[in-house]
A and B are shown apart, each in its own frame.
Chain A
Amino acid sequence: MFIEVGHFALILALMVALVQSIVPLVGAQRGSAAMMAVAKPAALVQLGLIATAFAALLHAFITSDFSVVGVYQNSHTTKPLIYKISGLWGNHEGSLVLWVSILAIFGASVAAFGGNLPPALKARALAVQGMIAVGFIAFILFTSNPFLRVLPTPEDGMGLNPQLQDPGLAIHPPMLYIGYVGFSMAFSFAVAALIEGRVDAAWARWVRPWTLAAWTFLTMGIGLGSWWAYYTVGWGGYWFWDPVENASFIPWLTGTALLHSAIVVEKREALKSWTILLSIVTFSLSLLGTFLVRSGVLTSVHAFASDPTRGVFILALLGLAIGGSFTLYAIRAPRMQGGGLFAPISREGGLLINNLLLSTAAATVLLGTLYPLITEVLSANKISVGAPYFNSVFLPLFIPLIILLGIGPRLAWKRGDLKGALDRLKIAAGAAVAVFAVVLLIQGVRLADLGGAAGIAMAAWLATATISEWFERVRLNRPGAWARIGNLPRAAHGMTVAHLGMAVLIAGVSASQAWKQESIQTMTPGQSVNIAGYTMTFEGVKDVQGPNYFAAQATFIAAKDGETIATMQPELRMYDQPKQQITFTNVRTTFTSDLIAILGEPQGETAWVTRFYYEPLVPFIWYGVLLMAVGGFVSLSDRRHRVGAPKRATAATAMPLPEAAAAE
């Protein structure tokens, strides 16, 4: 019964979305306030309806109603509650319902809290949001309906892929989707601005918080996914340049660029058409990610079960959304010339280089991801593009980016003082050189050591530059520093924290690339293996019965300098529902490095394949991601970023005098 209500609510939501995408748009063209005013109630009602659909589906999952196909295929009575809930979005149909729910939340937030947006811009942006909703709800209803019933009702479900039964992965999709879908706001505002034919500082001020929120969640989502791959999958790594990973990373790169270019629009009224383009591109890439995962066009370890009919539908949807917006862009953007001259040595100049590097990086990753597909379609040759390509093209782009990241925040708007900035960066440069030397002293001077040391030196450069910039800004050594810390906009603190996070992340990646150690062997009980100064002694394997699996559990004693420091018990699990074997890794962390033990296949009577990894500084990657996300949230809490931005800004856009808003 509930499920039919949910189904019906979703059909109604489609109707409402249709109204929302047409009436306010026509109203904005005709200048009819009444028609434009439809947008707000439509967006709110749409949220109510989609929330009803979501709740109905959630109810079915929690109560294990196996008469619903989606529940039958992805859940099981013996599953813990959290995985019953995450089973909702652990499959194609349900994840789309989550997708449109988040879309509706974003739309309704603009409707509810965007009271001081110019009515026409608000109406158009919400209409565009409505169009996206129409596309995706139709996609759900016509090709991927999660509300279908099975008759007769099966006794029990087929279960969720055991590898997905993990707390990190349970919340990974919602985070990622908030990120993906959040970029739809920037997209809708960009398309609205193109229709309107005007972009100004106020526009950028409205777009920035949405972009920032999306970026923050996407950062967390990618981080969680990577964390999951690292500590559960047991491939011994955190990033594989897999197409699906790249699909989330590419919009992150352009989203990061967008975050920075929108600042230039807000402060300097420059880079307007570029920022519009980035807004469209970032959301388009998010859609492309959705398409790649679901259409069966690319092969990946993470892909959903695919179905070409769906592929055709999403491709058509993508064609309309992306093709349509770029057509609009081609027609309207040439008229959006930015004001203000551009000095190369200035904050905006630095941000421009940041944008060039980030978007080049995004294009490179996109090319690497799609290249195998393109060559296969055009020439029937199968090739694979792997980590060596990505690593070798990424590094030359990221090194200048990191160096610039230390300098940029010290340059003033309009005319920066490069010499002065570099003068004050002597400490950072000194720190980098010192760290480089110290690391080499500790580690030795092989080629790999040089790379690792250089990476950590870059991290030291960025961290020192970032922290010292903050110190100088609040003049910590003078009286009244506390007041100055309080007076400094939260966005400035956020920037410092996020950039610091980047530094920490770089340290983690560099060290793990350079000094990771691994050892794969066959062991019989009683044997020991040495790795990175640890002695791993194999005690044996015993059988263990878990709640919904049966496992072979190995015991290893990890010792350092003759002293036992840990007992590690990785397992090889065989899940009941569905029948699937997975490795359950055991990670022992010292918070600066990880020791990982993995139990592989048995070899004869008592011998087992075992794998050990020593991962130096990998925890820093997670700290870095966390810091970036915290930076995002701190910045979001800035009063000026709220949707209820200062009234002055509204007044400024109501008049055709955008310069007034920028003159802060």
Chain B
Amino acid sequence: MADSTASVPAPRARRWPYLIPLVAVLALGGVFTKRLLDVENGLEVTALPTVLLNTPVPDFDMPPLPGHAEGLKSADLKGQVYMINFWGSWCVTCLYEHPILIDIAKSRDVPLYGVAWRDTPEKSIAWLAERGDPYDKIGQDPNSKAAIAFGVAQAPETFLVDKKGVIRYKQPGPITPDAWRNDILPKILELKAEP
């Protein structure tokens, strides 16, 4: 209706720009309302993303650390059950988790891949040199490309991938001896038993 004013010579202001704030607010209000309804219907906001569970591993191709022959790419996660661990030398909880990972690596229960997340190659190398290297393969993810694709929210975080390359389990935070015994190892055995 305001368009007709274009032909009127009077310098009357166009009205529609003044509606922008209202429209923006209404749109935002809609988003908030839907979210609140979701929360009321039992959506857990703090729950870590479950969308990636039971979906194929995202595509990635991470470069190797200096001195390592191979990086890590999605094709590496096919044919058997793998565990993939996101860590960083800046992450204090990873210090806690590291000896446990070393034990897991020694047990050879599952091949363990590592992602050096948001770190410099020098620091990652120094970390592994000082504390031992539990990983069968390591990829670098300095810009969080893989971490975002995996929906990693914190470090450390560990995923189990089944024989078909589908993410089946996620351990947010460090693997504790309890979690390994009670949740992760049984899940690995279960996944290994699948065809």
Contacts and interface: CB of A to CB of B under 8 A. Distances in A.
Interface residues of A, number: 46
A603 B21 contact: no
B153 A384 contact: yes
A376 B49 CA distance: 10
Contacts of B35: 297, 373, 376-377
Interface of B is mostly: helix
Contacts of B19: 330
Given A315-B32, A370-B28, A377-B38, A327 B92 contact: no
A11 B40 CA distance: 29
Given A312-B36, A520-B90, A327 B153 contact: no
B159 to A, nearest CB: 15
Interface in B36-52: 36, 38-40, 45-46, 48-49, 51
Interface in A412-450: none
B19, B28, B35 interface centre (most CB from chain A within 10 Å): B35
Given A284-B25, A330-B19, 18 more contacts: A280-B21, A281-B21, A296-B39, A308-B39, A311-B39, A312-B36, A323-B25, A323-B26, A329-B18, A329-B21, A330-B21, A334-B18, A337-B13, A373-B31, A377-B34, A377-B35, A382-B48, A601-B92
Interface in A285-340: 291, 295-299, 308, 311-312, 315, 318-319, 322-323, 326-327, 329-330, 333-335, 337
B119 to A, nearest CB: 12
Contacts of B148: 383-384
Given A297-B45, A334-B15, A380 B51 contact: yes
Contacts of A384: 148, 153
A277 B48 CA distance: 38
Given A311-B39, A333-B18, A297 B32 contact: yes
Nearest to A600: B92
A422 to B, nearest CB: 34
A254 interface: no
A378 B38 CA distance: 12
B126 to A, nearest CB: 11
Interface of A: 273, 277, 280-281, 284, 291, 295-299, 308, 311-312, 315, 318-319, 322-323, 326-327, 329-330, 333-335, 337, 370, 373-374, 376-378, 380-384, 518, 520, 522, 600-601, 603, 609, 611
Contact of B96 (A296, A378, A601): A601
A322 B25 contact: yes
Contacts of A334: 12-15, 18
A308 B18 CA distance: 32
A559 B153 CA distance: 38
Interface in B100-118: none
Contact of B40 (A284, A308, A378, A522): A308
8 contacts: A280-B21, A297-B32, A297-B35, A312-B36, A370-B31, A378-B31, A384-B153, A609-B95
B92 A315 contact: no
The 8 closest A-B pairs by CB, nearest first: A382-B49, A326-B22, A334-B13, A308-B40, A326-B21, A330-B18, A330-B19, A311-B36
A333 B15 CA distance: 9
B53 to A, nearest CB: 12
